[in-house]
Amino acid sequence: MRKSPKSLIKQTNHGSQTRTTSTKSPFELKPKYANFKKVQASRPGFNSTLPITYTKNPDPDWKYGKGSSDTSGLEKGHIEIDPYEDGRPMISNYKLLVSGVPRPISFVSTISKDGTRNLAPFSYFQVVDHDPPIFVIGFSGRAGRLKDTMRNLVETGECVISVVSEHMIEAVNATSLDVPYGQSEWELSGMHPAPSSTVKAERVKEAVFSVEGKLLEMKDLDYGHAKLGKPFGSLAIIQATRFWVREDALGEKGEEIDLSVMRPLVQLGGIQYGRVRETFELPRPSLAMELAEKSSGLEVFLDLEEKK
């Protein structure tokens, strides 16, 4: 059952009462380079016209039971890390997780209940189902004040999520500035608003793919932090109410978005981003077809007699 924005506000206020009010963030990220401009100047220019290329998959001769296509890693040991170990700073877990889990980036447009527009990026983001289409966004906890996007989502229950393409990234990055609540990031980003159909928040015209959505649930991720006086994160569960796809990116049947137009980015560790420029295709196996294809080698792994 959909929760009303009012009950969501209560739930979040309950959480925020226990949030610490210190203005010093435990989330200070030290710059990686002493002189980033110098490092950047030494690198080749960005080529936005490079085509999307296809290769074979890593091991086209792979057979059932073969395992990884590169077994050299088996000789290496693994280092066990307890994320809660005494003295391990929270920021170490942040750095480890973002470098270990590449993420698509959402660019979220919301409006506060008194009408101020807001734009901000979030890469703790995924589509988690298609029927109905459901998205999740993770808001990290911070001392003092909720993220404006989260506050607006809770107050109004609405947003537009755009998936970040290469041509948007500098403007998107600029909107991550922690400007005071009530100040819009639209102007400083230079992005253009376009009207939405089912929500008040506008969508980003420059985006290839945007999704209007309504908040189903905002779940406080408080599993003991509040008691310790520490800020905790929240998870927004959002149901899509409209899709918007740039006309030159949408396939004939209205089913597919062309990768060569979409050019999505992934966020990697630290300040690193990744392009999706080289791909391969790998058909998903079906049990009946794999069994029919004797050379697949699957049969020996299944106890087919027992199932007859």
Ligand X SMILES: Cc1cc2nc3c(=O)[nH]c(=O)nc-3n(C[C@H](O)[C@H](O)[C@H](O)COP(=O)(O)O)c2cc1C
Residue numbers of the site for ligand X (CB under 6 A)?
105, 118, 120-124, 138-140, 147-149, 173, 176, 178, 267
Q: Which C-beta is closer to ligand X: that of 120 or that of 201? A: 120
Q: How far is the CB of 221 from ligand X (least distance, A)?
A: 11
> How far is the C-alpha of 71 from the C-alpha of 59, rounded, in Å?
12
CB of 218 to ligand X, least distance (A): 13
Specify the residue, 150 or 262, whose C-beta has the smaller distance to ligand X.
150
Quick one: 12 or 123, whose CB is closer to ligand X?
A: 123
Cα–Cα nearest to 201, from 149, 245, 164: 149
Q: CB-wise, 216 or 233, nearer to ligand X? A: 233
Beta carbon of residue 19, minimum distance to ligand X (angstroms, whole number): 14
Question: 């009012």: which residue's tokens?
Answer: 6
What minimum distance in Å lies between the beta carbon of 67 and ligand X? 34
Q: C-beta of 273: minimal distance to ligand X in Å?
A: 8
Looking at the DSSP assignment, which residues form a beta bridge with residue 118? 110
* For ligand X, the closer CB: 120 or 226: 120
φ, ψ at 75 (rounded to 5°):
-80, -15
Determine if the peptide bond prior to 51 is cis (ω within 30°): no
Torsion of CA 293, 299, 301, 306, to 10 degrees: 140
62: helix, strand or coil: coil
Amino acid letter at 162? S
